[in-house]
Amino acid sequence: MTETSTVRRGLGAPPPDDILVDVRNLRTSFKVMDGIVPAVDGISFSLGRGQTLGIVGESGSGKSVTALTIMRLLEIPPAEIGEGSEIWFDGKDVLSMSESEVRQLRGDDMAMIFQEPLTSLNPVFTVGDQIAEQVKLHKKVKEREARDRAVEMLRLVGIPSPERRAKQYPHELSGGMRQRVMIGMALSCEPKLLIADEPTTALDVTVQAQILELLKAIQQRTGAALMLITHDLGVVAEMVDNVVVMYAGQIVEQGTVEEVLIEPRMPYTMGLIESIPTVEKRGGRLSAISGVVPSPFHLPPACRFEPRCPYRWETCRTVPPELYKAGASGRTARCHLHLAEAQPRLEAAIAQHEQNMRTGRRLTGAPDRIGE
Amino acid sequence: MTTTVDSAPVVEPTVHHRLRRRPPNSVRNGRSLLMTVAGFGVTALFVLFLGVLIGIKGAAGALPVVAAITIPLAAVLWGVVRFTRTRTKLAFALAFGAALVLSVAIGVLIVLMSRLLSEPNSIFFAQLILSLPFVVAVAAAWQLARGVFWFDGTKEHQLRPEESGARPISAPLTVAATATPTALAAAAADTVTSPAHVVETGDAAVAGDVVDPGMPLLSVQGLKKHFPIYGGVLRRQIGTVYAVDGVDFDIYPGETFSLVGESGCGKTTLGRTVIQLTPSTDGRVVFDGYELADVDPDDMRPLRRRMQIIFQDPFGSLNPRMPVSDIIGEGLLSQGLSDRKARDKRVEDALELVGLRREYSRRYPHEFSGGQRQRIGVARALALGPDFIVADEPVSALDVSIQSQVLNLLLDLKRDLNLTYLFISHNLSVVQYFSDRVGVMYLGKIVEIGSVEELYKDPRHPYTVALLSAIPEADPRRRKKRLVLKGDVPSPAAPPAGCRFHTRCWLRERLGNPENCVTIEPPLVPYGDDPGHRVACHWADEISQSTVAQAEAETPAVVAAVAGDE
């Protein structure tokens, strides 16, 4: 990474003012011993000011790498950002910024909450110190004011007796408390963008409810945009306006949360939603997606979901699908089912999905064979 | 069922002691001490004897005598202890060789000394002092070898399947073998009276009216598991963690009973104590008529074959240095199936049963994905042909799409092998889909228990209500206000007095903090018409749609101000 801040050539026009984050054709890969891992492979999405975007996918689908690339937290090398990738944040191109410019931005205008609060907090400093450090770095304030700000943040995130808690070390706090501290730290400089990477995965369901309510309340209060990365469709349904579904480094479906969760138009999304156990499916089989996520070294040549897809046909093996328009504006799906000639197949798939959602699959046959 | 509640249909399981009773702990400790002392003593005497012999007769002169003693001894040991593993043999040979080498060394030193020193008395004492460290060293080496190598001398234990009711271990493990028409008919007759079976047929109304629930497969009564906390300079006990503190429930053949609760509420400890992986502090666990705490450890082995566990973490629970065949076969080996070929056959049968290929038995855990690893964990539990499986959060560590594969597998196996599950989970959606009856745990106690239909439709404990309210649903049309509990679970080392939930209870707050929540611990009593639905709350009647809705409506304000409270 060079320390120059020259605007790169061939850059597109900056996005309109109401768009806070605009990611265009982002490609991030890692050079490892066995070859190149294309972790994120040409994704584009945008997030408006004050909006909430959910990025959904299984482990290894590239959702965390996307977030880390936006924050410019990846080390280059081994990471490599492909030609033609653009990340616009608040009207500026993040990828052509110098390291010092990014450092100004990070923590101040964009902040991140990580999955494991214990490993992302420093065990040898008190939580108050850790929050104050960030405030001191970004706002020109005195030691005393920074400390007051830290206590105020802890109070904001609902930690009781914040004055005492600020003097405690991370190990003295429970998991939910630590996650609150992380949120408090992320919010301490009033960022315009908050990226939450699986903020509740390590937490119990009751504490998860606390944290989600807190995030909602704080977002309402500060007007920050929230990018929520998760594999839990329940959390997504609860929290976000728009959804991006990722699979093997690509976006496979995007739209509003109602559209994607109620009327999924891509077999992977359908499978994900069907595999959630519900009351209606009791007594039947869950319709599981067969097989496993492909290894990044041996990606299927055309459609990456093809080997696991129940609705595949010859085209899926030969022609890589694009993000086709699927319904209303901004609603896209990466599936050949949306080609005009596949119309009957799409209708059949939708009918099957709706039936699976109603009843689950009846218990029949031998257990699924995997690995074949 | 609890024995304390009169109105509930009490099913007192008949306990029979055909197996040897476990001797009291004092006797067992004394025995083990005696064995250790005797082991050290015999080893030491043997080495000293050889050393002195060599010293007196010279190396060449002692050779016939030493050979005459050691060769038969080695042969006898080799035969008596039927080793099946190379590393066990190695450990044995190593210890034996070390003893011989040291004996020779002692002998040589004694010869040297008798040349250097002339006075008989000083020779004797010098010998004594010199030989002592050697004796200790040999004994220590022996004990070390025993500890380092897995050295339990797997003998062919005479199993009594007719007593324990376990399946014959050499029989192939296939669905067809266990699901013969007669066995299935017997199984059906067995479960036809249990509520689980009724629930399975989907008729929830009947489940509530069952009067005679039949004989439970597993009955837990007043089970407690406390862990001591040691501290201070003298490492004295300064406190107790009440991990499981008086739990009663029954599990009937063929049903899935689930335990839900937050982390730290004792679900996992309960699961492990039920199958005696950790000894219980107090209370009874009766498994098919055997009171487990009373069974002699040697006789536990055939029973253990019938109770297996699937662990939560598919990465931590498989030894990375063992091939799959050893991971799954270890249980078979310790049950006495020492024939490698027969064992491998069983292992491969188990792999096939969980949907993996037979060839995978040669591979190591790192070659598998998370879902496949969890299948290996399931295969390990199945290899012994159990009746009862404790599934401790088997899908929590897996991705959503893989999670449903494993859940399907567990359901298939339950149907094909007529298994009974104790399913431990914090995911209430999975529990609702997967189980017949549910117990909700909070701080080491069950606060509410009932059939899935009843509990999810009509929860009667404020904690259950809060748990259910907290589930995020994957349907944006059903976005709702949630009832958010304050704070975290209190420490199980200092549970609150009275009702353990009163520190976080939203209902108590609404009722104006009634006194008895703090002073009287509510008993687990039947609620409503269904005798199987029991709840431990003084104010269970106060819960209704409107109170819950009001509490939910008030929640966000609470969160924004101060969400946590200690």
Closest-CA distance of chain A to residue B110, Å: 59
Cα–Cα dist B562/A157, whole Å = 8
Chain B CB contacts of A282 under 8 Å are 432-433, 452
Q: CA of B257, closest CA in chain A: separation in Å?
A: 15
Q: Where in chain B is the domain with CATH 3.40.50.300?
A: 175-451
The yes/no answer to whether this complex scores an ipTM above 0.90 is no
Token pair, residue B61, equals: 């002169």
When pLDDT is averaged across residues B63-79 and rounded to a whole number, the result is 75
| Site of tokens 């009974």 | B420
Average pLDDT (A38-55) is 88
Most B CBs within 10 Å: which of A52, A115, A156, A206, as the mutation test of the B interface?
A206
Judged by a CB distance cut-off of 8 A, whether residue B211 touches chain A is: no
pLDDT confidence bin for A157, thresholds 50/70/90? confident
Share of chain A above pLDDT 90, in %: 2
Lowest mean pLDDT, pick from A153-162, B359-368, B543-552 = B543-552
B212-233 average pLDDT score: 81
| Token pair recorded at residue A257 | 């949360």
Mean pLDDT in residue range A207-222: 82
Query: Do A288 and B401 count as a contact with CB atoms less than 8 A apart?
Result: yes
Taking the CA of residue B557 and the nearest CA in chain A, the distance in Å comes to 9
Provide the pLDDT for residue B557. Answer: 44
Greatest mean pLDDT among A240-249, B64-73, B142-151, B160-169: A240-249
Mean pLDDT of B240-269: 88
- Which residues on A lie below 8 Å from B434 (Cβ)? 277
SS3 B310: strand
Looking at residue A201, what is its pLDDT?
Answer: 76
pLDDT at B544: 74
Q: State pLDDT tens for residues A228-238.
A: 998 888 888 88
CB atoms A277 and B430 under 8 Å: yes
Mind listing the pLDDT tens digit for each residue in A169-189? 888 887 778 888 888 888 888
Architecture per CATH, B175-451? 3-Layer(aba) Sandwich (3.40)
- Interface check B263 vs A, CB under 8 A: yes
B125 in A contact zone (CB under 8 Å): no
Q: Which residues are within 8 A (CB) of B291 and not within 5 positions of it... i.e. 6 or more apart?
A: B15, B17, B284, B285
Q: How far is B244 from chain A, CA to nearest CA, in Å?
A: 19
Query: How far is A128 from A162, CA to CA, in rounded Å?
Result: 9
What pTM value is reported for the model? 0.72
Q: What are the two backbone dihedrals, phi and then psi, of residue A12, each rounded to the nearest 5 degrees? A: -70, 175
For chain B, give the percent of residues with pLDDT over 90. Answer: 7
Instruction: Answer for the pair A269, A245: CB distance below 8 angstroms, yes or no.
Output: yes
Q: What is the mean pLDDT of residues B515-524?
A: 87
pLDDT of B235 strictly over 70: yes
How confident is the model at residue B142, as a pLDDT? 67
3-class state of residue B279 by DSSP? coil
Nearest neighbour of B400 by CB, restricted to A176, A276, A368: A276
pLDDT for the residue numbered B390: 93
State in Å, rounded, how far the first CA of chain A is from the last one.
43
* Residues B473, A272: C-beta atoms closer than 8 Å: no
Q: How far apart are CA B72 and CA B93, in angstroms?
A: 14
**What average pLDDT does the structure give for chain A?**
81
| Cβ-based contacts of B478 with chain A (< 8 Å) | 237
What is the arithmetic mean of pLDDT over A279-300? 78
